[in-house]
Structure 1
Amino acid sequence: MKKALLITDIQSDFLGNMDYIYPLCQKYLDQSGDQYDLIILTHWKHEENENEDTLLLKHPKAHIVEKRGYSAYNDEVKQLLAENKIDTVHLGGVDSDMTVLATMYNLLDAGFKVQVLERLLASFSTRGWESTTIMRFVLGDENVLANGGGRVWV
């Protein structure tokens, strides 16, 4: 089985009250990124950041994919997953109740095994637990993983 990590929209102009998620995701990338066959980091492009690079995450193996809608499963991501013969996608990022859910459903429809990294999810609304509940219902408890998270301060 070949596995990809897809983290959505960890960018300076998008986090607001979710700024805690950036160090958690970066720490996970630093510690676990090399175990993946493919890493995709999405950067949501919108009117206010059209010509700016506001993406915060970095990893030497990462492919940066711009997106303009909720789902990260766009043509470029489809191509990367196909070229790398990926069958399992680990998913994290923001916004768990919109972007992550939309991406999860699109990946499932396309036939991928999806596992969500629960500790690497954040939501603008304070309703992230609801999106996680939906993910558990759709994917099964065994596919909502407690990976990532932990201390990020010194």
Structure 2
Amino acid sequence: MKKALIITDIQSDFLGNMDYIYPLCQKYLDKAGDSYDLVILTHWKHEENENENTLLLQHKKATVIEKRGYSALTDEVKQLLQENNIETVHLGGIDSDMAVMATMYSLLDAGYKVQVLEGLLASYSTRNWESTTIMRFVLGDDNVLQVGGDRVWM
């Protein structure tokens, strides 16, 4: 079964009080990125960062996708998932109650198996717990993985 990793919007203009999530996601990418058949990092382009690269994450296998809405399932991402015969998608990133959840629902509607990496989620609204509870209800306990939340050492 081919697997993809999508991490949404870990970018300097979004971190604020969620600055802990960047090193967690980068550490996970460094450790596990090569085990995925496809790695996608999204960069939400908006009026204030239109001409800037504010994306913080990097990995040699990663494809960076610019997006302008909540869901990461853009036409370009759909094409990449199809070309790589992806069946399962792991999700992490910012904002768990908006971008990650929108992506989860879009992927489910498109027929993909979705698993959320709970330790790699963050929320501006501090609604991460509630978001994860909804994801657990929708996906089932077995699809909310306790992955990526190791201690951060800088």
The two structures have a TM-score, normalised by structure 2, of: 0.99
Shift of 1:152: 1.6
- Correspondence for 1:136: 136
In structure 1, C-alpha distance between the alignment counterparts of 2:89 and 2:62, rounded to whole Å? 14
Inter-partner Cα distance in structure 1 for 2:39 and 2:7: 8
Give the C-alpha shift of residue 151 in structure 1.
Answer: 1.7
Count the aligned residue pairs.
154
Instruction: Tell me the secondary structure at the aligned position of residue 12 of structure 1.
Output: coil
Matches within 5 A, 1:69-88: 69-88=69-88
2:90 maps to what in 1? Answer: 90
**Residue number in structure 2 paired with 1:117:** 117
In structure 2, the gaps of 5 or more residues are: none
The Cα of 1:2 is off from its aligned counterpart by 0.1
**What secondary structure is seen at the aligned counterpart in 2 of 1:65?**
strand
What is the TM-score when the length of structure 1 is the normalising length?
Answer: 0.99
Structure 2 CA distance, aligned partners of 1:78 and 1:19? 29
Deviation beyond 4 Å, 4+ runs, structure 1: none
Unaligned 5+ runs, structure 1? none
Q: Does 1:64 align with 2:64?
A: yes
Q: How far is 1:5 from its partner?
A: 0.2
- Structure 1 CA distance, aligned partners of 2:45 and 2:127? 24
Q: Distance in 1 between matches of 2:19 and 2:80?
A: 28
SS in 1 for 2:119: strand
Counterpart residue identity of residue 31, structure 2: Q
1:25-68 CA distance string (max 9 Å, x none): 00000000010000000000000000100000000000000000
Rounded to whole Å, the distance in 1 between the matches of 2:96 and 2:66 is: 18
CA root-mean-square deviation: 0.6
Cα distance in 2 between the residues matched to 1:130 and 1:139: 14
Match of 1:39, SS?
Answer: strand
How far apart are the structure 2 equivalents of 1:150 and 1:117?
12
Q: Take 2:126 and 2:151, find their aligned partners in 1: how far apart are those partners?
A: 21
Secondary structure of the residue aligned to 1:119 is: strand
SS of equivalent to 2:6: strand
Percent of paired sites with the same residue: 81
